[in-house]
Amino acid sequence: MREKKNDKFRPRIYIDKEGRWFQDGIPVLHKWTYLYNNRHLRRDKKGRYYIEEGMGRIYAIVEDTPFVVKMIDKRKDGFYLILNDGTEEKLVLNSLKMNKENIPYTKVKGGEFDARFTRPAYYEFTKYLRQDKGKFYLELGDYKHYLG
């Protein structure tokens, strides 16, 4: 994608808030293309999302977050996230935040990207929330992690 003199550009890729990818307005339905794109997604120094291709970068507009938490799984050693790209990673409790609409977000991919919880993941997540004096927390064994 070439940039204009005033640094405006027209990305060919769009990622909606559900983690669905579109190229030139057409949904990316091919599984391997979708997974390839997710695996090669990066951010430049200006915070713009792109996929590094052999001939250059293909920029993307991201509606909310490029990755979404599809499901959460509680295990003995913590909570695990299943992401829209099919990967699974342990939830880093300190990276968990709630926005003004009470939608949880967390850092994924080694802290490089934000991920928003989908509605099913959010509902699963709320099963593990407890309340103490008006504050919500997650409990893992003897440890209580209060949400900020």
- Per-residue pLDDT tens over the stretch 13-38: 999 999 999 999 999 999 999 999 99
* Res. 3: pLDDT tops 60: no
- How much of the chain, in percent, has pLDDT values that exceed 90? 60
| One domain for residues 40 and 83 | no
Domain boundary among 44, 62, 80: 62
Supply the pLDDT for residue 8. Answer: 58
CATH code of the domain containing 33: 3.10.540.10
37-66 residue pLDDT tens: 999 999 999 999 999 887 888 999 999 999
List the CATH number of the domain containing 140: 2.30.270
Within 8 A by CB and 6+ apart from 125, the residues are 72, 104, 117
Q: Indicate if 86 and 57 belong to the same structural domain.
A: no
Q: Is residue 105 part of a domain?
A: yes
Provide the number of structural domains found in the chain: 2
- What's the rounded Cα separation, in Å, for the pair 104 and 133? 20
Token pair 């699963």 is found at: 124
Residue range of the domain that includes 139: 67-146
Residue 7 within a domain? no
pLDDT exceeds cutoff 80 at 2: no
Give the pLDDT confidence score for residue 30 in this predicted structure: 94
CB 62 within 8 A of CB 68: no
CB-CB contact of 66 with 109 (8 Å): no
Residue 4 lies in a domain: no
Is this model's pTM higher than 0.85 or not?
no
Residues 73 and 100 in one domain: yes
Residues 57 and 93 both lie in one domain: no
Q: Rounded to 5 degrees, what are φ and ψ at 123?
A: -65, -40
Banded model confidence at residue 101, pLDDT cuts 50, 70, 90:
confident
Say yes or no: 104 and 38 in one domain.
no
Average pLDDT value over all residues in the chain: 88
For residues 9 and 136, the model is more confident at 136
Residues 34 and 97 in one domain: no
Are both 58 and 71 inside the same structural domain? Answer: no
Shared domain for 84 and 56, answered yes or no, is no
Domain assignment present for 82: yes
